[in-house]
Amino acid sequence: MPTAAPARSEQFTITELRREFDVSARTLRFYEDKGLLTPHRDGQARIYGYRDRARLGLVLRGKRMGFSLAEIKEMLDLYNLKDGQVTQLEVSLEKSRERIASLHEQRNEIDDVISDLERACDVIEGMLTEKRREQSPCRLDEALATE
Amino acid sequence: MPTAAPARSEQFTITELRREFDVSARTLRFYEDKGLLTPHRDGQARIYGYRDRARLGLVLRGKRMGFSLAEIKEMLDLYNLKDGQVTQLEVSLEKSRERIASLHEQRNEIDDVISDLERACDVIEGMLTEKRREQSPCRLDEALATE
DNA sequence: ACTAACGCTGACGTTAACGTCAACCTGTTT
DNA sequence: AAACAGGTTGACGTTAACGTCAGCGTTAGT
């Protein structure tokens, strides 16, 4: 009767996972040491489930955003409350909100950098059109002039 | 009167800068080694100008965004072309645009994480109100079982 | 003159996040 | 049986980004 779980095993070996996400096996084992992944075993071999696969995706996204593995773990643990006490839930809620706030800040900084770089692009384009117009017939002179 | 204005010197000592930005002196010297800052000297002592101060701000912003010092240096060098050759300008322009594109991606990922966390907050809040009313079992993992 | 504050230069230590390598097991193919 | 592909566990190496510490030189105040 308790065959509620789908017999369709959505399991991955370590190489499957590492190819899909383009990471090394060493990295996956390292993440396991750090508690970011928790595959079970078939004998000695690791077997990753759907959950681990999803978490790995989140870890890598976190990394692309510049978070440390410790920070990422903290964020992941927010999804894993299962049956926390009320106080634990409250703490998690506060942490989530802090994280959200800092992410908004980060977003704003990114916006700033983007507009900075866009202005820089405009300037470079201006320099390029100007440089191309003067066709530099005397390149040698210029080269010699600028020591 | 070719007197340079040393009266209100826009110069900073290492401790002034480190206090303003809350970094260590070691860090400032390290950034100098890496070519991110280029203070001149009064005898042995470093003297930072407005330019260095601005660059330091950009470096720290870049760090908050998760960039390595090498990447930050590349971005800073985009502001420093002065009078490059045409090909160099073209390269810089392309690099700037790539950087802008990747920043847009990063921004989108941040948005994704933000909405993930906001949903998690909603779920946690739901669990809290329910928990406070009665001692019912909670199932955050099922509630979050996105796909 | 002495000390305290501030600054400098090495040089070694540290942490995070892996890479690399050796040695081993294990099932499958040749 | 031998080799091979894929997996495992240590253990040590590496890089980035600093921290820390020792030793030394200059002013400024007492």
Confidence at residue B84, expressed as pLDDT on a 0 to 100 scale: 74
Amino acid at A63: K
Confidence at residue B3, expressed as pLDDT on a 0 to 100 scale: 41
Closest CA relative to residue B54, chosen from B45, B62, B66, B44: B62
Amino acid at B103: L
Strand C contact residues in chain A (10-39), C-beta within 7 Å:
24, 26-27, 30, 34
Show the tokens assigned to A22: 């383009």
> Between the CA of B60 and the C1' of D28, what is the distance in angstroms?
34
CB A14 within 8 A of CB A28: yes
Confidence at residue B5, expressed as pLDDT on a 0 to 100 scale: 37
Element (H, E) at A135: none
Of B64, B117, B140, the CB nearest to A106: B64
Counting Cβ atoms within 10 Å, is residue B32 exposed (0-12), middle (13-18) or buried (19+)? middle
Element (H, E) at A40: strand A40-42
Q: What pLDDT digit, counting tens, does each position of A107-124 carry?
A: 999 999 999 999 999 999
Q: What pLDDT digit, counting tens, does each position of A72-94 carry?
A: 999 999 888 777 788 889 999 99
Alpha carbon distance B14, A124 (integer Å): 33
Q: Map out the domains of chain B with their CATH numbers.
A: 9-66 (1.10.1660.10)
Alpha carbon distance B62, B72 (integer Å): 6
B102 touches strand D (CB under 7 A): no
In strand D, the nucleotides that come within 7 Å of a protein beta carbon are 6-9, 11, 16-21, 26-27
**Choice among A4-13, A75-84, B50-59, B102-111 with the minimum mean pLDDT:** A4-13
CB A103 within 8 A of CB B107: no
B87 or A4, which is more confident: B87
DSSP B40-76: EEETTEEEB-HHHHHHHHHHHHHHHTT--HHHHHHHH
Q: Which residues of B touch A118 (CB under 8 A)?
A: 100
A54 or B134, which is more confident: A54
Q: What pLDDT digit, counting tens, does each position of B65-117 carry?
A: 999 999 999 999 988 877 778 888 999 999 999 999 999 999 999 999 999 99
The answer to whether the Cα torsion of B29, B32, B36, B42 is positive or negative is positive
Q: What are the Cα distances from residue B11, in Å, to B8, B39, B53, B55, B76?
A: 9, 10, 9, 14, 21
A146 touches strand D (CB under 7 A): no
pLDDT at residue A143 tops 70: no
Beta strands in B9-136 (DSSP E): 40-42, 45-47
> Between the CA of B33 and the C1' of D22, what is the distance in angstroms?
21
State the greatest distance between any 2 C-alpha atoms of chain A, in Å, as a whole number.
90
CB A66 within 8 A of CB B67: yes
* Interface with B, mutate which of A10, A72, A93, A115 (most B CBs under 10 A): A93
